[in-house]
Structures are given as structure tokens and as C-alpha cells.
Structure 1
Amino acid sequence: MSRKSYSQNLEVCGDCGSLEATWASLNKGILLCTQCCSIHRSLGRHISQVKSLQKSLWPGKQMSMLMTLINNGVNSIWEHMLLENNSKMLKKKPNPRDSLETKAEFIKAKHQMCTFALRQTFDDGPICIENELGKQLHASVRSPNLETSFKLLATGADPNYFHDEKGTTPLHVAVKSEQFLQLELLLVYGADPSCLDAHGKTPIDYAKNNANKEIYNRLLESQYEVSDSFSYYLAMRKPDHQSGVHILIPQNGFFSNSASLEKLQKLPNHLFEELVVDVFDEVDRRQTEAIWLSCVDAIELNTVPFLPVDPTLSTTRNQGRQKLARFSTPELKNLVYDILVDTQRRQIKSYCDEDPVYDTVASDEDYEALPTPKDLNKSNTSTDGSCQEKNSEFMELTKQLKLSDSTISDLKAEVDKLKAYIENLTTENNDLKSKLSQIPEKSRLNGETAFNSLDTFLMNQEEPNRVPPLNGRSLDDSFVFERRSQRPSSMYETRDITKGIKTNRHAFKHQLKDFDQRSGIQSLYSERNSRQPIEIHTANITKSVQQLWKCLNESSIDECIPKAEKVKIATAKLIANLPRERFADITKVMLDVLPRLQPECKEYVAASREGDVKLIEHHLSKIREYAYILVSNTRDILAKSSGTLQ
């Protein structure tokens, strides 16, 4: 195959020539079909960085850089020995119809072993080769010739090579020359945007001085690539670096594990960085796996169940990397959350604990300007006063720490009390469920059972929550029967609880007024204004939503509908304990969302059993939306109730 005809086939797989190339390898500069992509993924990210053309995120001008490489035919670098006319390799490229084993053998020889790649030959040793390649890379990145830079990087050039004469790295040169595509290529091959040149400046500093916002924002984003990917994995959004927010930690849905966070804090920086790299590779594998499973032509191919072995790493670390695949999705997300928290702590600590610079040497003029003994005595007295001030500040800080420790212990005691109270509530809830299950079939209203009907649930509360007897008499049983037998109102319709006994309305109001004046006991709604039941019911809603989401993430299909039922019951309890006039807007929204959650769960279960991926994603997004509305409204209720009670 000639070089000219080779560079014309752009939209084909670079390994087998298939016309359906929907994937790409960034560091190899080629497009891939689905079968060849499965083989590249099994080699590992250290060999081939695989991304989807349609569904993966492409920051900056990364896509333009890839297409430029493909237009220049850089695949000839990896197949240099095959393209020669007098080649002695006796090896041919596979066809799209060849078996997967034949393609795997060729791809491993081409990309993993680099059997057919172009090799640079120098007479001197490896140090001379490294210096020569680094110098050539310095000269290449200042021009738009992307193919030459790729050839140098593919043959072993260091993207962070420091030029002794010029005092810069290739990334400094690319930023000064404003070569955006060269910058993207260097970042793909691991160029560090925080490297210092001979003047102590980073490439980000030069981009800022050149007033090139596009290059500046891209370098700033690449500096926080790992933390941005973690934030996107947890909250589906990235921090706004332009506003000064570089680490985004989600405030809802994730909780820090004190034991794991304590272990992370004890790790030294180099071990912590190794753990972060391993978790980043696992997150990238799972995100690529999700995109992979969404492709129709990739279902029959083998998946990558864990991170492939990297021979440059130790056996113990490779085993630890593969054990990350055993983590469930909630467990891995909690670990990522702890890593973000500890990363922010280490970043703040690095800013506060910067070591003083001792590299400068005093000149003769500095020695001549040394202070006299009198000046030293004056400075000693001033330093003694400053030391006393620092000691007083230190004592105040220790007092504040002791006070904070005491408050923490008090909070722990309150948490233990709340846990005991929650256990009592769970037992009462179980008793209530058993009582509700004993309601006869006649109490079914318009297709709703007495268990899931909101009105019937509120009327069948336990005895302490009912209205006490008036004038020594309890409410008439006929009133309860008429209340159950009437037509149920809509979710927005208010009911008159005295409907059906209109003749005794004035007498009923007179009895209630007489009872309040005579007994002095608070009414039913006074209990609803207390903060403690609202906190308990909001906690039950949050716990039920977390259990529902855990079932969805762990694919526990049979438990989704009962968990949605628990969410509905917990929300109904909260609404029953709220003053309707004060929380009318919030309860209206919750009552609108509440009847939609369980049908969506049923549709999700049906779609999961049928294997319809689009319907699964649609219903899952709806369930996530409804659950988020319920939890956010319960948080607003809790904040509003705390403000009103205070």
C-alpha cells in the first residue's frame, strides 16, 4: 500500500479497514471499529486510550487534533514495516471479515509489541537518543506540523523534556507559539501544565500573559483533569475554574466514611497519588463500559471486567487495581467522594505549609548591611513581644479546640438519642403496617387499597394521634364509615372533614371550642408544629429514597416497587404532620410528584425485564427527577420549620 492511497482512507478502521469506525484511540491517532476497539480496551489504558466518537466527552480541540492526525496518515508510523515494498515481515493486515482472534494477534503485535513501528537509530547511547528526540520535539511544536511531533512522541520523545539551553519544556514552546493542536497532542501524551521553566513560570502563566483565554482555560482544565472527572462521575457536572472553584464536592447524596477517610489521611503523598491514578483508571473503565454496552453491535463481544495488567507496575499494585472492580457503584462513589475531600484538605495544607526558600546566597553588600548589636537587642525585644502575642493566640486556639471537642461529644450523644428514637419509630411503623393490613376489603376506594390511600392512611393513625373524646364521648362510627365511603378527592382538592354530618356542624364546633377552654390541652395541629416529628419524617423520606436508589444501582429489580411504596408512605406521614396553610406550595408539589414515582418504578421493572435500554434510561431519569424533587422539598420543609419554630 502506498503512502498516498493510505492517507485517503480516512473514515475506516486503522487496524482492519472496516467502514464502521465509531471509536478512536487518542494516543495511537487512528479510528477503530467495534471489534478492534474491544481488543484495544483489553490491552489497557496505558497502551491505548479509547474514546467513543459520539458519546464520549471531547474537551477543547481534542477532536480536531485527532482528525488532523488521521488526515496526515499517522497510522503509517505503526505499520512502517508493512508499508515497505521489500518487507520481510510476511505479515498482512486483517480484513473486516477476519475472525476476532486474527485481529487480536495483529493488534497486539502492532500496538503492544510495536513490531511494525518506525524506530529511530542513533550511534550513541539511550541518553543521547532521549536528548536528540527532546530537542527535535522542541523545534517541532512551535510549528503546525502535527505529524512530526506525533512521530517523535510515538518513537519515545519525552513530552516533559527540559531543554538545558532554552530552559523550557515542549509545552512552554507550544503555548508561546499558540499552537493549540500541538498543545492537545502533548496533553494526550502526559505533558504537565504545572512544570516550571528556567524563569520559574508555568505554561499557564505564559497563556495568561498572552491573553489567550482559550489556551489558558484548556490548560487550567487539564491541570484538574482527575478531580474534574471524579466530580462529573458523582454529580454529572464539573467545577467552574474561571470563577476560582477548582474542586467540586457534591453536597447531597454522598457521605464521608470516617474510617476510610482516616486511612486516606494517613497515606503519604506518593501513595495517595498512586491510589488516585488507580481509581481514575477504574472510573474511566466503568464510564467507557457504560458507553460500550449502549452500542448494539458491542453486545455479543467480550467486556473488560477489570483493569488490565500494566507490566510497568508491581504485582501488588496490579492486584489492588483489579480489586477495584469488586466495588459496587455506591461503594466506589463513596470512595471517590472521600478522595475529593482529602484532596481538598491536602491542597489547602500545601498552600499553608510551603517550605521557605534557602537556595539564595547572600552577596557581599548584604554582609555589609548586617545589623549592629544594638539593633539586634532592639529586634530581640520586638521578637519577644511578638512571641508573647503568638503564645496568647495559641492558648486561645487550644481553648477553642477544647470547646469544639465538647460540642462534638454533645452532638454524638444527641445522635445516639435520635437513633434510639428512630428505632422506636420503626417498631411503631411496623405495628401500624400490621394494623393497616387488617383493614377489610370494603375500605378500598376507587381502586386504591387502604394501605396506599392517603386519606385512609391518615384516618387510621394510632390512638395517640386521634382527636380525644368530646364531653366524654368519642366520634360516631358512622362518621368514619361515611368518611371512607365518600368519593376520594384529587391530590389538589381540600376536603371538609365534617361532610356527611352537616346537621351537627355547629354543635361539633361548639364542642371543640368548649374542649379547648376546659382542658387546656393542645389540639391535634399543635403536635404538627413541633420540630421533632418533622425531622423524623424527613429522615425517613431521605432513607427511603436512598434505599430505592440503591436498589436501582444494584439492579435489585424486584425490590424497586416496595421501596417506592415506602417513599410514598414516608411522604404521606410528613404531609400529615405539616400545617397546610404554611406549607401549601411545597405540599402541592410533593402531592403532584408522589403518585408518579411508583408507576415509573413499575415501568422501569418492565423495561428491565424486556431489556429495552432506551426505556430503562428514560424511566431511570424520571425516577431520579421525582426522587430529587421529594428530597429537596423535604429539605426546604425542614429549613422552613426550623425558622418558624425559632
Structure 2
Amino acid sequence: MSRARSRYNSEVCGDCGALEPSWASINKGILLCIECCSIHRSLGNHISQVKSLQKSNWSNSQRSMLYTLNNSGVNSIWEHALEHNSKFSRKKPSPKDNLHVKAEFIRAKHQQCAFAYRPNNEDGLLCVENELGKQLHASVRSTNLETSFRLIVHGADPNYFHDEKGSTPLHAAVKAGQLLQTELLLTYGADPTCPDSSGKTPVDYAKQMVNRELYNRLLDCQYEVTDKFSDYLCHRRPNHEKGIHFLIPQAGTKSDATALYKLKKLPNHLFEELVMDVYDEVDRRETEAIWLSSADTLELNANAVPFLPVNPTLSTVRNQGRQKLGRFTTPELKNLIHDILVDTQRRQLNSEKVRQFSQISDDEPLYDSVASDDDYALLTATNHVASDQHRSTSESKVNKSTETSGISDKESMELLIRRLHESDNTIADLKYEIGNLRKVVERLSNENNELRTKLSEAETNISKNDTKINGETEMYSLDGFLMINAENNNNLVNGTTTIVDLKQSKRVQRPNSMYETREGPRQPNWQTLKNHAKQNENNRAVTQFLYSGQNVMQCTEQVTKGIQELWKCIQGLERNDCLIYAEKIKAAVENLAAAIPLESANEVVQRLQVGAARLKTECTELVTNDSVQIVDHCLQKIRLCAYEIAKDTKILVTKYTAH
């Protein structure tokens, strides 16, 4: 142990180079000094998972993984630009630099990953992810921990499922007996309960191996959350080797019936989010206690955050809830953890029952074999003896309890009769409620049948009159686009981003298309127009207006198609193509403006041209920026511009087709 400590103390801080670091960042694979650790703690657990080398709880495999990564020089991954680019202006701070200089460097290095190596993704993000996942699946079977770490940092998924192998990287590491590779995958979120193509989990494979240390480590990670909660409440952990997976203290905490009821009503995904947030808060408080117990951290407490730092990958409401956990007193937090443990055990038992029931084979009968007459005779005699014994035992218990409580038989009978009456009343009330519910169900069923009938009639009429524009149905027409986005227009103006799936937002009844003739037959009656032209002095103007209307409709089709393509583009992953569709929309708007006389709709045409130019500007800004906030803001403006263009185009088309 002394030799190990001497080797550990000879290491240096990965961020400033200070000697004798006493903290470490597990997921970054580096050691940290006191000052740099204070900045890492303010970043949040989702950026850097810090632990004390002397006072925190470490497993042997976790400590070995950390020093293996640190000694292999994985810090060069985070400082790639500093080492390979001599023209880079940023320099690594020294141990004597001010704290704000170190803070600026650490945030750029670990939070923004400004100096890390960025691989080329020209082949497409999905292709790169598949290739990295396959490489990680092969790398974890070897002892080269640095290669696996680099693959994960570059974007390999620790839970990647190899279609050809039928397993995840954690399955491959467990089968190969690589304990440190397994620890690395677990650090980055690998699931030890994920089944492979054969239905076996990594825990199942580790259980069959001779190496019990690997099996125990996977078992501890499987129950890591509940083990930390039990240790926080009673300073003890369950013994998983003996089959004890939950340890709920009976003293020191009290359950709240209202809180338990609310926890039971939560769906599984919301309950898991709550458990993860409480786990992070417990980990923060434990790290804070270790931090305050160190004498050399008193001057650095100004940088401490009294609540969980904001995680940009989570919603605003959830971040606010995580920060409110910091305001809980210790007894309040312990009561909440106790209730979570109780409901976790209940959910675990229910899931096991469902799993056992689902594993029943269809070939196995769900009934017992029929007994013979001799068996029935023997069973009847046994039941008589057992009933006599039970009757005598129950009578003795009743007499004993009556003598002890001092209640007479008459009072007991009256109490029993009263309870029976109450039960009868309750049953009557429930029957009455059931009758009312049946009536409501019948009424709703009748209404549903009527609606289905009307819907079938409406669909029949629509199928007869349905027209297609450039291969797109009416749902994808400009009118449909306006109706879908009308409800979301207020949200777009107020600054909130709403992603609408056009296919899911399809209305049951198809809206009237602006391309359909509102009244009269579909083919124009040229004889009527001719007679009308003879009676009207403006025959030439009317004919010119009709030809102009046809040009307007053709230009409108181009605008509509461009908006459809832009809408699909910004909803998908290939958003860089949105600038191409913005150019198409702008060109279509120019053609539409050229087809309309200036004196008829000058203001609307100008508004259309300005909107098309603004749409192109927003698409350019979307393509040239990588920030999540700027991208969301640009998407919001693009949707608003597209909606305004569609609305103004509808005004022009309606004006021409109304005549």
C-alpha cells in the first residue's frame, strides 16, 4: 500500500501540472489538484465525475482503471490542439496561476471540448457511429484500455448493439474477462441488464465465469442507486451475494402516505428521472461533506455550488426540480429516499412477477391434473380433520382474545353485524356506480359509431373530389400547411420552439383546397364566359385576369413544394440542405410577384419578397452555427417565416380564384 501511495503521489494534476493531486475525475481519466477540483465540481456531474483519492469509496477495479488511463496519457486527448498546433494562442496554466485563469482554461477544455480531437464525419453521422461501435466492440476484448477510451470520447456508444455479433460491448468485455474494460464501459453508462440476441445479460455471463470479482462488480453496478440510498440512510449496504438486494431501515425515517401514493402513480420513466435526480443530489452532498472535511479547501468554498449545476441536455423544468432538491433538509431528504426505496422494491417485485408470468410456455397447461376417486376420499377425510382442528384453534383464539379484551359475545356480534351492513352498503354503492359507468360506456359507444359512420361518408366524398398537386396530397398543400401551423403560430411568436409532425397532425376531415373551384363545375363554361364578355365592356381584362390567375396558381405550387421540402429538411438530421430549399422558395416568390400586376396586390407582394429574403438569411445562420441555443432560435424563426409566406401566398391565390 505504501508503494502504491508513493506512486500515486508522484502523479501531477492533469489541468495545471500541480504535484501530489488528491482528487480525480473518473470519466476524464485524470488526477486533479484542490484548486482545479473546485472548478470541476462547479461544472456538474454530467461533465466531470470527481472523487477524493483518500476519502471517497473506491472499488479496486475503478481505482485501477483511473490510474491506467492516467498513466497511459489520455489527457492528451483533451489537449490535442495544444500539443499538435503550435499556432494555437491558448496555453496551459501553471500551478501558480490565479484561480480565474485556471477556471477559464478548464471550462474551455472539459465543458466546451475546445482542444479535443474532432474526427471527420464526412461519411455521415450514422455511418461513423456504426463504425465506432464496431471498433469499440472489438477493442474491449483486449487489454488496451486507452484505445477503448479514445473511441468512447470520439462518439462510440457503450450500449451499441452489434447486429452481426448479437451483443453489446459490455457482453464482449465480460466474455473476455476484461475487468478494466468493463469498468470503463460502466463509467460511461453501459447497461449491465441489457440482453443479447440469446436473451442473456452481462450479469448472466459473469455469473458463469470463475472470476467472481467481475460478477460482484456488475451486481453492485446493477443496484448502485439503491445501494447508495441505503448507505446514506443507515450506513450499510445490502449483501447481494446472499440475495439481499434491498436494505430499507425501519427506524430513523418515516413514510408519508401522500408521498407514497404520488410515487405509485408516477409512470416508470418519470420515476426513473426522479431517482436519478435524487441520486445526483446525494452524491453531491457526500462529495461536499468530504470537501469540507479537508483543511485546504476552506479558501475555495466560494466556488462551491449549493445545488446541482444546470445540465443543458435536460429540460428547464427538470433542472429547476434538481436545484430545489438542494433546499431539502437532511431529514426531509432521508424521508424522500425512504419512500423511493419502498416504491422501488414494489416496482421490482411487480416486474419480476410479470417476467415470470411471461416466461410460462404455451405448451404447459394452466391447470392441475384431475384427481382420482381415492384421492378425493383421502382429501375429504383430511379436510374434515383439518377443519376440526382449525375450528377448535380459532374458537380458542376467539375466546382468549375475548377474555383479554373484555368484550362480550353480544357486543362482538353487534360489531360484526354493523360491519356487515357497512359492507353491504358499500357493495350497493359500487353496483350503482358500475351501472352508471355502463350507461356512459354505451352512450359513448353509440356516439363513436355515429362518428365512424359520418367519417366513412366524408372519406367517400373526399376520395371522389380529391386532387393531387405535383404528386402531393391535399394534406401537404399550402392550405393544409396553414391549418396545421395556425395553432402553433402563437408559440412561435412568443419564442417557444414547437416541432410538428405533419403526418401525425393530419386532420380527419380534409380541408378545402385553394386549388379547387369553390362553386360551379370543374371545367369552365366558355359559352357563359363568352356571353358574359359580350355584355361586359371589360372582356379583354377578364380574359387577361384568367390567364394571370393560372400563372399565379402555377407559381403557388412551386412555393408550396418549396415549403414542404424545407419543412421536412428542418425536421430531419440533414439541416444543411435547408439553404437550397430557401433559394427555391425565394425564386418561386419572385416568379409569383412577376405574375401579379403591381396595382392589384402591391403590399402583399412586397411582404412576400421581404419574407423570402429573411427566410434565406435565417437558413444561412442555421447552417453556419453549431450552438444548440442559436440553432433552436433559427429553427423558430424559419418556421415563422415559412408560415408568413404561406399565409400571404394564400391571400393572393384566394383573391384570384375567388373571381
Taking structure 2 as the reference length, the TM-score comes to: 0.53
AA of the residue aligned to 1:348: L
**CA offsets, 1:186-234, max 9 Å, x none?**
1101111001111110011111112321111111111000000000101
- 1:285 maps to 284
- 1:72 maps to 72
- RMSD in angstroms over aligned alpha carbons? 2.7
The alpha-carbon deviation at position 9 of structure 1 amounts to 10
The alpha-carbon deviation at position 255 of structure 1 amounts to 1.2
The alpha-carbon deviation at position 297 of structure 1 amounts to 1.2
Q: Distance in 2 between matches of 1:296 and 1:60?
A: 27
Say if 2:24 is the partner of 1:24: yes
AA of the residue aligned to 2:139: S
For the residue of structure 2 that corresponds to 1:61, the secondary structure is helix
For the residue of structure 2 that corresponds to 1:24, the secondary structure is strand
Alpha-carbon distance change, 9 to 344 in structure 1, aligned in 2, over 3 angstroms: closer
The alpha-carbon deviation at position 10 of structure 1 amounts to 5.8
Say if 2:144 is the partner of 1:155: no
- 2:346 maps to 345
The alpha-carbon deviation at position 155 of structure 1 amounts to 1.3
Q: Distance in 2 between matches of 1:60 and 1:186?
A: 16
For the residue of structure 2 that corresponds to 1:51, the secondary structure is strand
AA of the residue aligned to 1:182: Q
Alpha-carbon distance change, 8 to 187 in structure 1, aligned in 2, over 3 angstroms: closer
For the residue of structure 2 that corresponds to 1:252, the secondary structure is coil
AA of the residue aligned to 1:70: N
AA of the residue aligned to 1:123: E
Is the 2:9–2:20 Cα contact (8 Å) retained in structure 1?
no
- 2:136 maps to 137
Alpha-carbon distance change, 353 to 359 in structure 1, aligned in 2, over 3 angstroms: closer
- 1:354 maps to 355
Is the 1:10–1:70 Cα contact (8 Å) retained in structure 2?
no
Q: Distance in 1 between matches of 2:198 and 2:259?
A: 41
**CA offsets, 1:134-168, max 9 Å, x none?**
01101110000000001111111100100010011
Is the 2:14–2:32 Cα contact (8 Å) retained in structure 1?
yes
- 2:308 maps to 307
The correspondence of residues 39-188 of structure 1 with structure 2, limited to 5 A, is 39-84=39-84, 86-188=85-187
Q: Distance in 2 between matches of 1:332 and 1:93?
A: 41
Q: Distance in 1 between matches of 2:360 and 2:242?
A: 34
For the residue of structure 2 that corresponds to 1:195, the secondary structure is coil
Q: Distance in 1 between matches of 2:173 and 2:242?
A: 26
The alpha-carbon deviation at position 358 of structure 1 amounts to 10
For the residue of structure 1 that corresponds to 2:355, the secondary structure is coil
Q: Which consecutive residues of structure 1, in runs of 5 or more, have no partner in the other structure?
A: 1-6, 372-377, 380-406, 408-646
Is the 2:16–2:102 Cα contact (8 Å) retained in structure 1?
yes
The alpha-carbon deviation at position 123 of structure 1 amounts to 2.7
- 2:208 maps to 209
For the residue of structure 1 that corresponds to 2:299, the secondary structure is coil
For the residue of structure 2 that corresponds to 1:254, the secondary structure is coil
Say if 2:35 is the partner of 1:35: yes
The alpha-carbon deviation at position 95 of structure 1 amounts to 0.8
Is the 2:61–2:180 Cα contact (8 Å) retained in structure 1?
yes
Is the 2:29–2:70 Cα contact (8 Å) retained in structure 1?
yes
For the residue of structure 2 that corresponds to 1:31, the secondary structure is strand
For the residue of structure 1 that corresponds to 2:228, the secondary structure is helix
AA of the residue aligned to 1:24: A
For the residue of structure 2 that corresponds to 1:354, the secondary structure is helix
The alpha-carbon deviation at position 238 of structure 1 amounts to 0.4
**CA offsets, 1:602-628, max 9 Å, x none?**
xxxxxxxxxxxxxxxxxxxxxxxxxxx
**CA offsets, 1:440-470, max 9 Å, x none?**
xxxxxxxxxxxxxxxxxxxxxxxxxxxxxxx
Alpha-carbon distance change, 18 to 49 in structure 1, aligned in 2, over 3 angstroms: same
Alpha-carbon distance change, 314 to 359 in structure 1, aligned in 2, over 3 angstroms: farther
Q: Distance in 1 between matches of 2:310 and 2:88?
A: 28
Is the 2:9–2:21 Cα contact (8 Å) retained in structure 1?
no
The correspondence of residues 455-470 of structure 1 with structure 2, limited to 5 A, is none
The correspondence of residues 433-444 of structure 1 with structure 2, limited to 5 A, is none
For the residue of structure 1 that corresponds to 2:174, the secondary structure is helix
Structure 1 runs of 4+ aligned residues shifted over 6 Å read: none
- 1:332 maps to 333
Is the 1:80–1:117 Cα contact (8 Å) retained in structure 2?
yes
Is the 1:18–1:96 Cα contact (8 Å) retained in structure 2?
yes
Is the 1:60–1:218 Cα contact (8 Å) retained in structure 2?
no
Q: Distance in 1 between matches of 2:325 and 2:10?
A: 38
Taking structure 1 as the reference length, the TM-score comes to: 0.54
Is the 1:10–1:71 Cα contact (8 Å) retained in structure 2?
no
The alpha-carbon deviation at position 356 of structure 1 amounts to 6.2
For the residue of structure 2 that corresponds to 1:340, the secondary structure is helix
Is the 1:28–1:48 Cα contact (8 Å) retained in structure 2?
yes
Q: Distance in 2 between matches of 1:120 and 1:175?
A: 29
Q: Distance in 2 between matches of 1:350 and 1:257?
A: 24
The alpha-carbon deviation at position 353 of structure 1 amounts to 2.8
Query: Which of 221-230 and 117-126 deviates more?
Result: 117-126
AA of the residue aligned to 2:339: D
